[in-house]
Structure 1
Amino acid sequence: MSEINFQKFYDTKIIEKVEKQNADSEKEVSKTWAKEHQKMPLSILGPRELWMNFDKQMNALNTASKESNDYDMLCTFVYQIDNGYRKFVVIHPETFWWHYKHLPPERRCSYEVIPENHPCRLYLDLEYSIELNLGHDGTSMTNTLIDIFCMYLLVHWHVICNKYNVVNLDSSTSEKFSRHIIFNTRDVVFKDNYHAGRLVKSVCTDILNYVTSKEKQHNILSCFDKTQVEQLIVETKKGKRLFVDTAVYSKNRHFRIYKSTKWGKQSNLEISNDSKYIPSTVYNDKELSIFLDSLISYFVMKKNLILLEYSENDTVNTNCFKDIVQQYNYQESDNPCSKYPMLDRYISNLISPGKIRTCKHFETAKILVYETVGYRYCENIGRCHKSNNVFWIVNLKNKIIYQKCHDQDCFGFKSKSKQLPEEIYFQIDEEGDMLLNNAITQNSVEK
């Protein structure tokens, strides 16, 4: 197998054109495109070294689809070499990263093509003008929005997700706040970016209606502080809107990749300072792991994917979840207990002889989700399910608990809420007071 020449990253004709333009002094173009770098080392277990350049996007997408299989997937990337001029390359992402990382930051003007009707991760493009929104805290707004989408994933599809599963990329400047958010839940993705886009647009509509209407209750948004939800609305030159770009779910969308900047700018996408994402440990190279984990449409093994659907009539499809929910392996880092021992004991006694499998804490929403094993009694049917376990949700703010179910026939069911015992009230309030005191102390130190 022949080695890949780094010059193939850019077409030979393009390189010759750039060199000629420099020689004639007609246009100042950097020669860094054609600069030789250390060649990618060969490895028996390494990625396939196919590299094909295309002028037309459709040809590139067709080739990527034809050359890929369930175990070896190729992607289509776009690289920009001039203002408005883009080329397409079909390549394995690991190979692409090896050569891409050697480019100087200002020349990393590359995008991933998200193929139409292809499985994809849930992704968000967040932005707003800092000058028009001086009182807004973009970091806090982003974290609130992530928590909201995590709750929608939980309610609609029973997918447990938190900030440790979310790649949070930042390319903000002094003029504009800008983030790319990618939800990397293992083997759980959307059927395509149309379905992901419909969910995003539906959530945005819910938020706008909740903020602008006098209704005080919403099955998901009421779990959050309404002031924080209101902060998601920003000022633009065309009026108020959410700081979510809902136009990035179109056919064969180009989405800027990790470490990339827009042409002529120096605003490369980097891991945000507040990101809590835990990269994959499959690779020894952390940067490579972040790059691969942040790709919207690349999956190591496509046949294992669980596809989520959000139809045009706002209905969700959970059929793909039904047969595998028992086998779905949550990360070992999931803590089986919360930071409230008395509450954990109360839940354990409630589900005995079953046990707590995992406990997820959604801090902004003040919600705890207890996944159980060996406990299948469902209040909706008044008996135990034959295979599906149930889970319990604790609202720390309202001090209530209720049961929900993984079974498709019980989708949307929520048991009657019960008040937590008074002795648990004290522990939860004490924890809140302690966190408040710590925050005050930390703030004093920083000042």
Structure 2
Amino acid sequence: MERKWQERLKKVEELASHYERHPLPTVYRPRLSKPSMPSSVWKIFSRQAEAFNYIKTCQEDVHVFALEKSTKSGQRFYLVTTYKELWFYYTQGYKSSLMHCYEVIPEKDACKLYFDLEYYKPVNPYADGKRMVMKLIELVSQKLKELYDVNCSSKDVLNLDSSTDEKFSRHLIFLPQKTVFKDNTHVGNFVRTILQPAIRLTESRTAVIPTEEAGHVFQCSAGAGLNGSLTNITAGEDDSKDWPDIAHKTKDMEMPHQGENLDFSFLIVNNKEGNKQLFVDLGVYTKNRNFRMYKSSKAGKNVILKIAEDNEFIPNCEKDVSLEEAYFLSSLICNIRASDDIKILSSGFSEEERKMSAFLNSKTTRNSTGYDVIDVHVLPMVYMKYPMEGYQGSPYPEIDNFVHSLVNKDGIQGGIRQWSYFSLKELLIYDISGYRWCENIGRAHKSNNIMYVLYSV
């Protein structure tokens, strides 16, 4: 008995000596191949900014992925690892940690052209999702050719599906050979540009135009307290003859004339409330966007993104890469191999054009100026220079006086908060203060301010 005890004690001492000479690492680093190979990167952070900061210290080609834990808290953790390592564990059944995985698309990083498409089936009983996807691919391919001389077809588009009985849902990733966009902001600009006619179809915006003095005046964000000589125009109707020609087309953003007769109605669907909306989600082009990955589902759901039945894209499989892994690598928006002959597409505005576009096309604007909603999407696509702005008096005092006459009546004394002048098209925009009467609703807005847009003819 004593001899057995001594033998066990000796083994324990040998193990203790071994671990003193070969201590366990404080952080587990998984290896994909032989134990002699260097440890790979697999590190999780609670904040996205910490993950991006860590990447800067890594020599490996690592990327950030978001892991969604639960639908209640909405909490996500951020994983830093390589594509190869993620795929290895992605396919090993570690669903508790990787089943709800999102690619983080870094701002200012080159990326592929991508779309998020969806509509609710109960309120769109006649919608043919597959046909809509096909027509969108045809439209985008046509615009890539017209604007950038890039050849693309449905065989260059990875089509992923996560539809249910209630919702039609697709992701499209365009993969024309050696062609990417500068970043996802440029992707968003391109998508909004080519879908502008459809965007107009979803909106009901009214411009009010007086037929007197100073050319024409549009009152935006609530109409005007003007007299009966006003003419109402609703965006989306065939009133092009009445619109001012204020579109400044830049070389890389010009919409060819042959596209004007395209039918964009297939892109319009109903939302749950019965209102019109786009089939295309325009909200997925923000900085550091989390975009759900192939074979992942949303937290609380078990519907994964899978290859669609009507997908025509087949990836090229390199040595030691399976077809499934090739699909996975193709689906990653920022998985772009550096090459001297890669074509980087740009679809951006200058700072001035960006400011003007956001000013004229947004539904909401700066809280600091007191606006809640601005109904100003009543003009054609606008790409203009933004050379001059100021407060109270503009360079045109006669027009200032006319605007003052419109907002000073019935015991109310309004004023000009700010003006903006665009010399290229002789366009003058006034922010109005102290006067909120809206002819469209027949009363003054409680919180919305109004604007006047004047142009010469």
Query: If the length of structure 1 is used for normalisation, what is the TM-score?
Result: 0.56
Preserved contact between residue 164 and residue 277 of structure 1 (Cα < 8 Å): yes
Q: Which of 255, 266, 291 does residue 231 from structure 1 map onto?
A: 266
Conserved in 1, the CA contact under 8 Å of 2:70 and 2:300? Answer: no
Aligned-pair distance for 1:210? 7.6
- Structure 1 counterpart of 2:162, from 152, 158, 171: 171
Which range moves more in the overlay, 73-82 or 169-178?
73-82
Residues 49-128 of structure 1 mapped to structure 2, 5 A cutoff: 49-67=40-58, 73-83=61-71, 84-103=74-93, 108-128=99-119
- Summarize deviations over 1:249-268 as a string: whole Å, max 9, x none: 11100000000100011110
Structure 2 vs 1, CA of residues 55 and 139 (structure 1 numbering), >3 Å: closer, same or farther?
same
**Percent of aligned pairs sharing the same letter:** 32
**What does residue 219 of structure 1 align with?**
257
Report 1 or 2 for greater relative contact order, CA contacts < 8 Å, sequence distance ≥ 6: 2
Alignment correspondent of 2:300: 264
Residue matched to 1:288: 325
Q: Secondary structure at the match of 2:33?
A: coil
2:33 to 41, 45, 48: 41
92 and 47 in structure 1: CA distance in 2 versus 1, 3 angstrom threshold: farther
Give 1:40 shift. Answer: 3.5
Shift of 1:5: 13
Residue 404 (structure 1) aligns with: none
Q: Return the offset for 1:286.
A: 0.6
Distance (Å, rounded) in 1 between the aligned partners of 2:175 and 2:57: 26
| One-letter identity of the residue aligned with 1:97 | W
Cα distance, 1:62 vs. partner? 2.7
> Which runs of 5 or more structure 1 residues have no equivalent in the other structure?
10-38, 317-447
Number of equivalenced pairs: 278
Unaligned runs of 5+ residues in structure 2 are 1-23, 203-235, 241-254, 354-457
Alignment of 1:29-428 (within 5 A): 40-42=32-34, 49-67=40-58, 73-83=61-71, 84-103=74-93, 108-209=99-200, 212-214=236-238, 219-221=257-259, 226=263, 229-236=264-271, 237=273, 239-283=275-319, 284-301=321-338, 305-312=342-349
Offset at residue 273 of structure 1 (A): 0.2
Q: CA deviation at 1:78?
A: 1.1
Farther-moved stretch of structure 1 (86-95 vs 259-268): 86-95
Change beyond 3 A, Cα 1:230–1:157: same
Deviation at 1:85, TM superposition (A): 2.1
SS in 1 for 2:67: strand
Displacement of 1:155: 0.7
Q: 1:400 corresponds to which residue?
A: none
Partner-residue secondary structure (3-state), 1:118: coil
Compared CA separation, residues 191 and 166, structure 1 to 2 (3 A): same
Shift of residue 247, structure 1, vs aligned partner: 0.6
Match of 1:373 in 2: none
Kept after mapping to 2: 8 A contact 1:210/1:218: no
The change in CA–CA distance for 1:179 and 1:270 in structure 2 (over 3 A counts) is same
> TM-score scaled by structure 2?
0.55
Please report the RMSD computed on the Cα atoms of aligned residues, expressed in angstroms.
3.5
- The 1:314–1:175 alpha-carbon spacing in structure 2 relative to 1, beyond 3 Å, is farther
Quick one: structure 1 residues 289 and 223, their matched pair in 2 at CA, closer, same or farther if it must change by over 3 Å? farther
Q: Distance in 2 between matches of 1:172 and 1:258?
A: 13
SS in 2 for 1:111: strand
Q: CA deviation at 1:299?
A: 1.7
